[in-house]
Chains A and B, each alone.
Chain A
Amino acid sequence: MSDDVHARIAEAVKAADVLLFMKGTPLFPQCGFSSRAIAILDHLGVEYATVDVLQDQAIRQGIKSYSDWPTIPQLYVKGEFVGGSDIMMEMYETGELGELMAEKGVAAA
């Protein structure tokens, strides 16, 4: 995997406080796990940006090595990798994800 792709990912991660790498778009998620991740972010009411990995094969592969994480979706908050949809769901249910967003000073949508 080229450093170029990792550099592009690093830039994207830096540019948005909350960034979700997903399959499809928030309106038309192309996978149940991505859909669940969007539902959680919408419930939290935070501003977020998304990257549709289906539109970019290099990112689709590169994000896996960048995060050392084999699946999509992947959530980044203020440049820090939080996890995939299972971790998002678990943290949402315990209230930790909302706390994390508040702690990091993420803007409301």
Chain B
Amino acid sequence: MPMQAEEIETMIRQAIPDAVVEITDLAGDGDHYAARVVSESFRGLPRVRQHQRVYAALDGRMGGVLHALQLTTATPD
């Protein structure tokens, strides 16, 4: 079963409380999303580590029930 956008956002914010999360449903099918996650806690981390933190927040769903999540991470300006 595909994931709802709210569910994705909630899981990310539970693991990364200060995160500003924007989810876009790319195909309108509840299965292909883009997420932009902005968090001060990413500062100084290489991109791979930033993405790994988001994937860890999704607790195994990425690559499973969540097939496609185009991910962008950033630190606040």
Interface residues of A (CB under 8 A from B): 33, 64, 68-71, 81-84, 86-87, 90-91
Contact = CB atoms under 8 A, between A and B. Distances in A.
A90 B72 CA distance: 8
Contacts, number: 29
Nearest to A86: B71
Interface of B: 47-48, 51-52, 55, 60, 62-64, 68, 70-72
Given A82-B48, A87-B47, A90-B47, A70 B63 contact: yes
Contacts of A90: 47, 72
Nearest to B70: A86
Contacts of A70: 55, 60, 62-64
A9 B5 CA distance: 34
B63 to A, nearest CB: 3
A82 B46 CA distance: 10
A81 B52 CA distance: 12
10 contacts: A64-B63, A68-B52, A69-B55, A71-B62, A71-B63, A82-B48, A83-B48, A86-B72, A87-B47, A90-B47
A83 B72 contact: no
A83 B62 contact: no
A2 B28 CA distance: 39
Contacts of A86: 51, 70-72
A81 B48 contact: yes
